[in-house]
Amino acid sequence: MLAWLRDNRFGTWWFTRRRGELVGVDEYGNRYYRERGARDWRSERRWVVYAGEGEIEPSTVPPGWNAWLHHTLEKPPSEQPLARKRWEKPHEPNRSGTPEAWFPPGDERGGGKRARATGDYEAWRP
């Protein structure tokens, strides 16, 4: 109960039950809503209820849903999916601060070792 009060989940739950209309769910389980009875799609209120417990992680919102939340798109991706470009990679949430975080070669957290320079590097001298 205290987590609900701390994260304002009760207020969001109450507003969603009274005024929200479910629009869709993404692959991460996030649920997207819009205000019932809005006059225009540009002025309607839109929000997301993040899946799971714990810390809210906005980087789990895929690009199409992010565009819809910010009123860039009129129709949500559940009604009109975004066209995928051939060069696009699948969306991944930010992994910083987790065990799956990426570290560049030579970083202390990755062992501190990196490959030797191959001769293509020349130190700058003033």
The full DSSP string for 44-55 is: S-EEEE-SSSSS
Q: Which runs of consecutive H residues, i.e. helices, occur in the chain? A: 2-6, 9-19, 63-69
Domain containing residue 53: 2-69
Whole-number pLDDT of residue 24: 93
Q: For residue 102, is it within any domain?
A: no
- Tell me how many domains the chain contains: 1
Whole-number pLDDT of residue 93: 81
pLDDT in tens, 62-116: 889 999 999 999 999 988 888 888 998 888 888 888 888 888 877 887 677 777 7
pLDDT in tens, 11-55: 777 888 888 889 999 988 999 999 888 788 888 999 998 887 767
Q: For residue 107, is it within any domain?
A: no
**61 pLDDT above the threshold of 60:** yes
pTM for the full predicted model: 0.69
Whole-number pLDDT of residue 83: 86
Q: For residue 45, is it within any domain?
A: yes
